[in-house]
A and B are shown apart, each in its own frame.
Chain A
Amino acid sequence: MNSAAIASEENYLTTGWNWWSWLTTLDHKRIGILYTITITLLFGIGGAAAAMIRLDLLTPHSQLVSVETYNKLFTMHGVIMVWFFLIPSIPATLGNFLIPMMVGARDLAFPRLNLASWYLFVGGALFTIYALLAGGVDTGWTFYAPYSTTFSTSQVFAAATGVFIAGFSSILTGLNFVVTIHSMRAPGMTWFRLPLFIWAMYATSLILVLATPVLAMTLMLMGIERIFGIGVFDPALGGDPLLFQHLFWFYSHPAVYIMVVPAMGVASEIISCFCRNPIFGYRFMAYAMLAIAAFGFLVWGHHMFVSGQSAFAGTVFSLLTFLVSVPSAIKVFNWTATLYKGHVSFHAPMLYALGFVGLFTIGGLTGLFLASLGLDVQLHDSYFVVAHFHYIMVGAAVMAFFGGVHFWWPKITGRMYPEGWARFSAILTFIGFNLTFFPQFILGYLGMPRRYPVYPPEFQVWNVLSSAGASLLAFGYILPLIYLLWSLRYGERAPANPWGAKGLEWETASPPPSENFHATPVVTEEAYAYARTEAPHG
């Protein structure tokens, strides 16, 4: 097929252009795009809050905003970025678009439920934006009780309601994915022929379905105590504040894996494609993600080593945390080994994926510092923690998200992005990210507490470096927005398989027809069946 033939063909983008056709669409691909637009807007809000935070931290005395405003800024940054960007980022956009195509199905198992999930998500986002406009929230994204339930006078309830509603979107999306992966695989697509992206989505969906209800309960209990004064968490009402932390982290630790396991899936697809090699240790990679999902439920107490939980509990949680880090280490080694005897090329998605591996490695290794009981006492609630989780949740996860967007952009839009600009952004993002967050490790060990708009002057030099890095990082994130939008009109038309990649999604046109495949594909080979010694094309 040549590209002209593809362009004239009917595809999912040309089957109706009006608003109504988009707002009532049941096509997983269009819903994926609805999510992409929504979370891009929300990323803009969360990013603007981050920019204000970094600007304010340029000076030790919080000259830009009042401390109250600063508290609301970091809370909004956290709430929006965690629940309205990172959690849905890869699953709701790339996952929605790709899962049916990768398993060789026409759509997800429950298309209406999929659309309903998006509406729930938008409803939750609107509630949260209302909380922002109606005065903001100042509890931090962690909503710790009894501050959130008894003491804060800000819009805690509205923000929590927004998160509560968006949680149902998570649960239903996870459910949809699990059922689809179980029941809608094309003939010949056995479990161990599934691309690792599908394994990643499967592991993520299990977490979404099992963990999110606990968040809903926690937020509801918080609301009940706040509105009705029924004592659950506040000791003055007979409650237990540590109970809140246990419940909160029972969700929120696995939530980290909701953000990073999909990124692992994306990176696996990209690295394999641009190395022309099967992923090294495919089964180990699949099992490692399931192990991470399972063990991820047993380590929440490592957020509470200095909370007043017993030393014994701390010991058990520390041990389990070291165990969950083993599968993560295995994955890094396997990605590295995939390059061995490959035919490596350095297109923008590959640069993003290699950046992901690097940042994930640093994020993972510093996680071990925090898992160490005796050392965590010094690092807890300091900038070390801030740096660590940004390496995982932003460095690694967002790097992979951008890599995935570039990798599948030709498939999604039918257009090629400008390669030079994309490589430049990938490198700029990597440098900007490290410059922003690496100084925070040093600040953390020096003892700078997180959530401090006012800090001792000796910390200023590291904060200035960090803010300088953040401005580079901002360019790294804004540039793709510009050139990707540009490419929608001016980009070269994409062939069905511009990368010479394996996988069912590349066997159909770009952009795909509404029903994905004209005939149900039949799978006859393993995932990533790149011939190891085959000479590369292109």
Chain B
Amino acid sequence: MNSLPFFPVRASTTAGQVDNLYFAWLALSGVVALIVALLLVWFAIRYRRGSAANRAVADAAESEKKMHRIEIVWTVVPLALFLAMFVWSARVYYENVTVPKGALPIYIVAKQWMWHAEHPAGEREINELHVPLGRPVELLMTSQDVIHSLSIPDFRIKQDVLPGRYTTLWFTANRTGEYHLYCTQFCGASHSHMVGRVVVMEPAAFEGWLSAHASAPTMAARGAQRYRQLGCNGCHGAQAMVRAPKLEGLFGTPVELRDGRSVLADERFIRDAVLLPNRDVPAGYDASMPSFRGQIGEEELLEIIEYLKSLGNATQQVVP
């Protein structure tokens, strides 16, 4: 209680942009509130009952016209200001929802009441998130139960984490240190215990931290193992007898579907293909894939996705 905090620290490249918006609104609304307050006080004193102030209206018609002009002015001026602020804030928002290419992926599974993070290199952590300084990081997030929301106020970022789908959040940390991480969507009894810390490290220290557990298999390796365990190879493998799409090089490419649509083979596509295989059937194939719903957890599914991503560089032919 020895300090009185007013503003959170800025620990990401996003923070400054959001702060600028905040300060602009503080200034703008401060001016408006001040004008309203001063006018109210001034009128209240000058025109208090019994005061000698002149209240005569010289020309009723003229004053009516003046009133209309005033109404138009204080309709149009706020509207113009609001539109300008809208454009600015929308630009900041778009920048902050557009994940830059080459961002370092980290996978997040939220559950009552903990944050589970998994790095492609294989490191897993709970209620902690280690990230490198100065490099864009993309969080690919899903929930195992109810809606959660991942919030890092010192980075000025937040995104709900939903069951049944993936949402993303990205940031570039620009200040080393430890920062709060909160769940901000009410998720049950221990909602306020679903907190953790983000540790921003110098890139070299981060590499060191990752390699401290170098003996652990990478996420892709774990994904490959699940892939075999679930028998995916039986149909999707090179020697398979069943006609199923080949998955090498699939990730990130457009897929023509049987119903004529074309979708991008992203995380959502793979998730749906595993759990709801009849939803998006590639052109030229039967809807013969079984659903793995109930047989595979969120973490395993993410590992398989990471495995399929790792097949991206294979020289094999692309799915039709």
| A445 contacts partner chain B, Cβ-Cβ < 8 Å | yes
| B315 contacts partner chain A, Cβ-Cβ < 8 Å | no
| A152 contacts partner chain B, Cβ-Cβ < 8 Å | yes
- Asked if B67 and A281 make an inter-chain contact with CB atoms under 8 angstroms apart, the answer reads yes
| A113 contacts partner chain B, Cβ-Cβ < 8 Å | no
| B145 contacts partner chain A, Cβ-Cβ < 8 Å | yes
- The CA-CA distance from A456 to B1 in the complex, in Å, is 11
Q: Describe A's contact surface by its main secondary structure.
A: helix
- Asked if B86 and A372 make an inter-chain contact with CB atoms under 8 angstroms apart, the answer reads yes
- Asked if A68 and B189 make an inter-chain contact with CB atoms under 8 angstroms apart, the answer reads yes
- Asked if B163 and A67 make an inter-chain contact with CB atoms under 8 angstroms apart, the answer reads no
- Asked if A447 and B153 make an inter-chain contact with CB atoms under 8 angstroms apart, the answer reads yes
Q: List 14 A-B contacts (CB under 8 A).
A: A146-B147, A330-B74, A336-B39, A339-B43, A340-B43, A344-B44, A369-B25, A369-B29, A372-B86, A377-B157, A378-B156, A447-B151, A450-B186, A536-B49
* Residues of chain B in range 34-65 having any CB-CB distance to chain A below 8 Å: 36-37, 39-40, 43-44, 47-50, 53, 55-57
* Residues of chain B in range 77-118 having any CB-CB distance to chain A below 8 Å: 78-79, 82-83, 85-86, 88-97, 112
Q: Which of B8, B93, B164, B188 contacts A314, CB < 8 Å? A: B93
Chain B binder among A41-49, A126-134, A196-204, A315-323: A315-323
- Asked if B146 and A460 make an inter-chain contact with CB atoms under 8 angstroms apart, the answer reads no
- Asked if B8 and A445 make an inter-chain contact with CB atoms under 8 angstroms apart, the answer reads yes
User: Which residues of chain A have C-beta atoms less than 8 A from B262's C-beta?
Assistant: none
User: Which residues of chain A have C-beta atoms less than 8 A from B211's C-beta?
Assistant: none
User: Which residues of chain A have C-beta atoms less than 8 A from B29's C-beta?
Assistant: 365-366, 368-369
| A374 contacts partner chain B, Cβ-Cβ < 8 Å | yes
- Asked if A361 and B48 make an inter-chain contact with CB atoms under 8 angstroms apart, the answer reads no
- Asked if A147 and B163 make an inter-chain contact with CB atoms under 8 angstroms apart, the answer reads no
User: Which residues of chain A have C-beta atoms less than 8 A from B36's C-beta?
Assistant: 332-333, 336, 357-358, 361
- Asked if A380 and B7 make an inter-chain contact with CB atoms under 8 angstroms apart, the answer reads no
| B154 contacts partner chain A, Cβ-Cβ < 8 Å | yes
- The CA-CA distance from A322 to B74 in the complex, in Å, is 15
User: Which residues of chain A have C-beta atoms less than 8 A from B174's C-beta?
Assistant: none
Can you add 13 more A-B contacts, CB < 8 Å, to A341-B57, A361-B36? A71-B188, A152-B188, A235-B162, A235-B163, A326-B75, A340-B43, A343-B49, A357-B40, A358-B37, A372-B89, A374-B92, A375-B92, A378-B22
- Asked if A372 and B85 make an inter-chain contact with CB atoms under 8 angstroms apart, the answer reads yes
Which residues of A come within 8 Å of B, CB atoms? 62, 67-68, 71, 138-140, 142, 144, 146-147, 150-152, 234-236, 241-242, 275-276, 280-281, 284, 305-308, 311, 314-315, 318-319, 322-323, 325-326, 329-330, 332-334, 336-337, 339-346, 354, 357-358, 361-362, 365-366, 368-369, 371-375, 377-378, 380-382, 442, 445-447, 449-461, 532-533, 536
| B218 contacts partner chain A, Cβ-Cβ < 8 Å | no
| B213 contacts partner chain A, Cβ-Cβ < 8 Å | no
| B159 contacts partner chain A, Cβ-Cβ < 8 Å | yes
| B191 contacts partner chain A, Cβ-Cβ < 8 Å | yes
- Asked if B86 and A319 make an inter-chain contact with CB atoms under 8 angstroms apart, the answer reads yes
Which residues of B come within 8 Å of A, CB atoms? 1, 3-8, 17-18, 21-22, 25, 29, 32-33, 36-37, 39-40, 43-44, 47-50, 53, 55-57, 67, 70-71, 74-75, 78-79, 82-83, 85-86, 88-97, 112, 145-147, 149, 151, 153-154, 156-160, 162-165, 167, 180, 182-193
User: Which residues of chain B have C-beta atoms less than 8 A from A334's C-beta?
Assistant: 71
- The CA-CA distance from A354 to B22 in the complex, in Å, is 27
User: How many Å from the CB of B67 to the closest CB on chain A?
Assistant: 6
- Asked if B8 and A446 make an inter-chain contact with CB atoms under 8 angstroms apart, the answer reads yes
User: Which residues of chain B have C-beta atoms less than 8 A from A342's C-beta?
Assistant: 43, 47, 55
Q: Which of A235, A280, A377, A460 contacts B67, CB < 8 Å? A: A280
Those 4 A-B pairs whose CB atoms lie nearest each other, nearest first: A447-B153, A235-B164, A374-B92, A372-B89
User: How many Å from the CB of B74 to the closest CB on chain A?
Assistant: 5
- The CA-CA distance from A325 to B49 in the complex, in Å, is 33
With A306-B159, A369-B25: A147-B149 Cβ-Cβ less than 8 Å: no
- The CA-CA distance from A339 to B48 in the complex, in Å, is 9
Name the residue on B nearest A370 (C-beta): B25
- The CA-CA distance from A332 to B75 in the complex, in Å, is 11
User: Which residues of chain B have C-beta atoms less than 8 A from A311's C-beta?
Assistant: 93-94, 97
Q: Which of A139, A315, A332, A532 contacts B57, CB < 8 Å? A: A532
Q: Which of B18, B21, B164 contacts A236, CB < 8 Å? A: B164
- Asked if A147 and B188 make an inter-chain contact with CB atoms under 8 angstroms apart, the answer reads yes
With A318-B90, A445-B8: A377-B70 Cβ-Cβ less than 8 Å: no
- Asked if A322 and B83 make an inter-chain contact with CB atoms under 8 angstroms apart, the answer reads yes
With A281-B67, A358-B37: A375-B147 Cβ-Cβ less than 8 Å: no
User: Which residues of chain B have C-beta atoms less than 8 A from A242's C-beta?
Assistant: 162
Find the residue from A152, A457, A458 having the highest chain B CB count within 10 A: A458
User: How many Å from the CB of B294 to the closest CB on chain A?
Assistant: 10
- Asked if A306 and B160 make an inter-chain contact with CB atoms under 8 angstroms apart, the answer reads yes
Find the residue from B5, B83, B95 having the highest chain A CB count within 10 A: B5
User: Which residues of chain B have C-beta atoms less than 8 A from A380's C-beta?
Assistant: 158, 184
Name the residue on A nearest B73 (C-beta): A333
User: How many Å from the CB of A79 to the closest CB on chain B?
Assistant: 14
- The CA-CA distance from A449 to B196 in the complex, in Å, is 13
